[in-house]
Structure 1
């Protein structure tokens, strides 16, 4: 099977090999570091020829996501070993995690709903002092009397506004989520401006994700791939959309 042209995944072709590395690891290795029995990526000719120059075989990476997604959609009799488009996979993951979203919304908005659900579940596990500290680290004014529900509205505004604050919040959520799901944080998450914010959310998001993961009856092992892969793709899209703002801040910190 070849990669199906996919508006939700075509942006992967604009990313560097370093940026694609975490996604590739999710697709190939399980949480224990062993190769997944069901992965096909490492058998592709381009992978064998160019690894670890991931950008040279980004279509094979995208195809692998589509193939895993085809094994999680309900109608397996007709979809087994057939890839499905990313938006269908994203919506399937959102349904599995009980995310409130509209399937008619743009992909990035659905991804934001997914990230907000993870964050909201984490906020419910945080003390008022932790919520206040998080507000300080994110530069939110007048947060003293904000509860978890009110902060969700603030975070939604941050997501929609774009720029570095949007990217920073996404990075913090995804880094903590990846630690809970795969045992490793994001390799790119080294910027000193986000380190403390990450430490605040790592515990609460870990508890929230563990609770969600335990509650899910994962009928197909493919969900152990599609859930972290979709969350990783959401992060990479936010990274791609906010490059200019990220570069400007990094230049200021030089």
Structure 2
């Protein structure tokens, strides 16, 4: 249960504990695999869920009791990898939402907009209107067409892929400069991960930066789950 140990109390994601297990499974699946079904090379949620399966008899109990691990995975994907290594936790959802909104060009002012309002702006910016979970296939297709899902997650670590592709100077357009940047990162992170995250060469920094291929669809799903939750609060037990 490594993920749960990295869980941070997060008021914007606390409602997830009351959701139907199928909604939690949707979140988990989005964190574990991309829209093409390829498993993310980073993250440990799948390993956590497999471990938790030994304790819970049904799929419903598994996901209901793993909501903190799911939140922790969201928080980790939203943070810079190098900084995460030192603080051993990710970032709060509000920071992830701000990053996603800025990434897709939403006009907003921090401190004067609440989470619900900003999530609505994100959905309208991406899809022209506020979508529901019934539109999930259309949502994934739109994000893919807009290029917000990235190059899909690699089947193996990109560091390994790069090393296998580079020999001597440059192969396939990939230069040894990136490898040099990654070596710099290894040394810098031992001294100051925040400095490392800010000063890495751009290509290396892209690898350690928040995983927008994951955080953008996750923010969309969280936003729609919040709408569903707010509309059906009375039907959720313990709330």
TM-score normalised according to structure 1 size: 0.58
- Aligned equivalents of 2:233, 2:9: Cα separation in 1: 27
Distance of aligned partners of 1:49 and 1:238 in 2 relative to their CA distance in 1, 3 Å threshold: same
Report how far residue 210 of structure 1 moved. 1.5
The answer to whether the 8 Å contact 1:19/1:236 transfers is yes
Distance of aligned partners of 1:55 and 1:115 in 2 relative to their CA distance in 1, 3 Å threshold: same
Pick from 60, 64, 67 the counterpart of residue 58 of structure 1: 67
Aligned residue pairs, count:
169
Report how far residue 21 of structure 1 moved. 1.9
- Aligned equivalents of 1:77, 1:43: Cα separation in 2: 21
Pick from 41, 52, 59 the counterpart of residue 46 of structure 1: 52
1:115 and 2:123 matched: yes
Pick from 148, 152, 164 the counterpart of residue 213 of structure 1: 148
1:78 and 2:115 matched: no
The answer to whether the 8 Å contact 2:148/2:216 transfers is no
How large is the RMSD of aligned CA atoms in angstroms?
A: 3.1
Question: Which residue of 2 is the match for residue 171 of structure 1?
Answer: 132
Question: Which residue of 2 is the match for residue 26 of structure 1?
Answer: 30
More moved, 42-51 vs 20-29: 42-51
Pick from 233, 237, 242 the counterpart of residue 226 of structure 2: 237
Pick from 90, 93, 96 the counterpart of residue 103 of structure 2: 96
Report how far residue 79 of structure 1 moved. 3.7
Higher relative contact order (CA 8 A, sep 6+): 2
The answer to whether the 8 Å contact 1:111/1:234 transfers is yes
What does residue range 133-172 of structure 1 map to in structure 2 within 5 Å? 169-171=130-132
Distance of aligned partners of 1:232 and 1:215 in 2 relative to their CA distance in 1, 3 Å threshold: closer
The answer to whether the 8 Å contact 1:9/1:86 transfers is yes
Distance of aligned partners of 1:172 and 1:63 in 2 relative to their CA distance in 1, 3 Å threshold: closer
Q: Gaps spanning 5+ residues in structure 1: where?
A: 121-154, 156-168, 181-205, 247-254
Q: Gaps spanning 5+ residues in structure 2: where?
A: 152-202
Distance of aligned partners of 1:245 and 1:7 in 2 relative to their CA distance in 1, 3 Å threshold: closer
